[in-house]
């Protein structure tokens, strides 16, 4: 493909040099180069010919589910009986959208078990049913997260403020929904759900991460929680905290080993301050406090306090340069 593309670029530049084209023939020439070169793209034709999930539909699905998880905060008349019907309608809408997208991605990740239409339909039904059945558990987990924000942030004034304003709760809702789909083996869709939250909040949580209850991310921008991270209960992270990988295993072919455990384990009741970078399959012992902007690549025992070395302080030069 790169071969072909180089060739096209040569042609492109040559014609540019001669400046021969008219605007119309030029347009169609470039269009054909773009479509040809990408048609030749690495296995992408195969992918596309089987269809791709719709980000728009998936986001609409998530918003429907979000509204049934927090009905009071999405215009439903809580306390009345009508809320039941409205929740039912929103849930039904969300589940329809999910089934449509499952049909696409399962087709696209087709393999033996899905060889026949019947088997695929069975699979879509089982996944969507399993997902729906876990929504009440997701709801109660999110209530512990909202409570952790209310009791953990002096600036939080009400449950309404948290539900309407707090990016951490928005991101955790997307993550907890995506994690359920991830556990059910659904590809791509779960990642689109968490990346949508990443775009809105700056909080990047991989659907594969395991996170306990009463989890609070304050402010959140720049938080990264990697695929194989394991986080206990009552953990609090501030913005810019990274739970990442340090080195990657390579197989004999030199390609990266996918899915190997490579992110931190954070035990119960740990607090990690803004901008701390914690890398590798290490363990932060229960109840530890990690200070801001620390670079930590080794395990620390329970009850540890880790802070950055003392900064250098001097008096400002007249020109204010540092």
> In which order are the strands placed within the sheet that holds 271-272?
216-218, 236-238, 271-272, 289-290
| Site membership for a second copy, residue 107 (CB under 8 A) | no
Please name the residue that has the structure tokens 């039912």. 88
| Site membership for a second copy, residue 25 (CB under 8 A) | no
Query: One symbol per residue from 239 to 258: x for binding a second copy (CB under 8 A), - otherwise; what is it?
Result: xx-x-xxxxxx-----xxxx
Site for a second copy in 288-317 (CB under 8 A): 288-289, 291-296, 300, 303-317
| Site membership for a second copy, residue 84 (CB under 8 A) | yes
Contact with a second copy (CB under 8 A) among 20, 25, 47, 122: 47
Q: Which stretch binds a second copy (CB under 8 A): 111-119, 160-168, 175-183, 229-237?
A: 160-168
- Among candidates 96, 77, 97, 98, which has minimal Cα distance to 87? 77
Instruction: State which residue, 103 or 304, has the beta carbon closest to a second copy.
Output: 304
Q: Which stretch binds a second copy (CB under 8 A): 35-43, 112-120, 175-183, 229-237?
A: 35-43
Q: Which two three-digit tokens encode residue 224?
A: 């990264």
Measured CA to CA, the distance from residue 21 to residue 25 in angstroms comes to: 6
271: CB partners within 8 A, 6+ apart: 235, 236, 237, 288, 289, 290
| Site membership for a second copy, residue 119 (CB under 8 A) | no
Query: What is the C-alpha R_g of the chain?
Result: 25
Q: Which stretch binds a second copy (CB under 8 A): 113-121, 161-169, 178-186, 229-237?
A: 161-169
| Site membership for a second copy, residue 279 (CB under 8 A) | yes
Q: Which stretch binds a second copy (CB under 8 A): 6-14, 114-122, 177-185, 229-237?
A: 6-14
| Site membership for a second copy, residue 187 (CB under 8 A) | yes
DSSP 8-state assignment for residue 114: G
Measured CA to CA, the distance from residue 70 to residue 135 in angstroms comes to: 12
| Site membership for a second copy, residue 132 (CB under 8 A) | yes
CB contact at 8 A, 182 and 190:
yes
| Site membership for a second copy, residue 110 (CB under 8 A) | no
- Among candidates 185, 176, 263, 203, which has minimal Cα distance to 228? 263
Contact with a second copy (CB under 8 A) among 139, 233, 283, 299: 139
């Amino acid at each position: 493909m790169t071969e072909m593309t180089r060739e096209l670029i040569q042609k492109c530049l040559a014609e540019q040099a001669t400046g021969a084209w008219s605007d119309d023939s030029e347009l169609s020439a470039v269009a054909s180069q773009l479509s040809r070169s990408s048609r030749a793209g690495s296995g992408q034709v195969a992918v596309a010919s089987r269809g791709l999930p719709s980000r728009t539909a998936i986001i609409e699905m998530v918003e429907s589910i979000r509204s049934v998880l927090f009905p009071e905060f999405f215009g439903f008349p809580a306390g009345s009986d009508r809320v039941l019907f409205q929740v039912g309608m929103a849930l039904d809408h969300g589940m329809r959208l999910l089934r449509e997208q499952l049909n696409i991605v399962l087709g696209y990740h087709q393999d033996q078990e899905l060889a026949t239409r019947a088997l695929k339909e069975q699979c879509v039904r089982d996944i969507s049913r399993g997902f729906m059945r876990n929504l009440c558990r997701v709801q109660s987990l999110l209530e512990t997260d909202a409570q952790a924000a209310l009791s953990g942030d002096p600036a939080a004034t009400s449950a309404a403020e948290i539900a309407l304003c707090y990016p951490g709760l928005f991101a955790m809702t997307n993550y907890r929904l995506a994690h359920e789909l991830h556990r059910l083996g659904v590809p791509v869709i779960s990642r689109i759900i968490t990346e949508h939250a990443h775009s809105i909040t700056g909080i990047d949580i991989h659907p594969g991460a395991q996170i306990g209850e009463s989890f609070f991310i304050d402010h959140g921008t720049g938080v990264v929680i990697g695929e194989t991270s394991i986080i206990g209960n009552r953990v609090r992270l501030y913005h810019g905290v990274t739970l990442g990988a340090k080195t990657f295993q390579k197989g004999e072919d030199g390609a990266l080993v996918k899915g190997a455990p490579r992110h931190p384990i954070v035990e119960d009741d740990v607090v990690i301050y803004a901008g701390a970078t914690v890398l590798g399959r290490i363990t932060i012992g229960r109840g530890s406090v990690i200070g801001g902007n620390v670079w930590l690549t080794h395990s620390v025992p329970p009850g540890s306090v880790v802070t950055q070395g003392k900064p250098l302080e001097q008096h400002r030069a007249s020109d204010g340069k540092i």
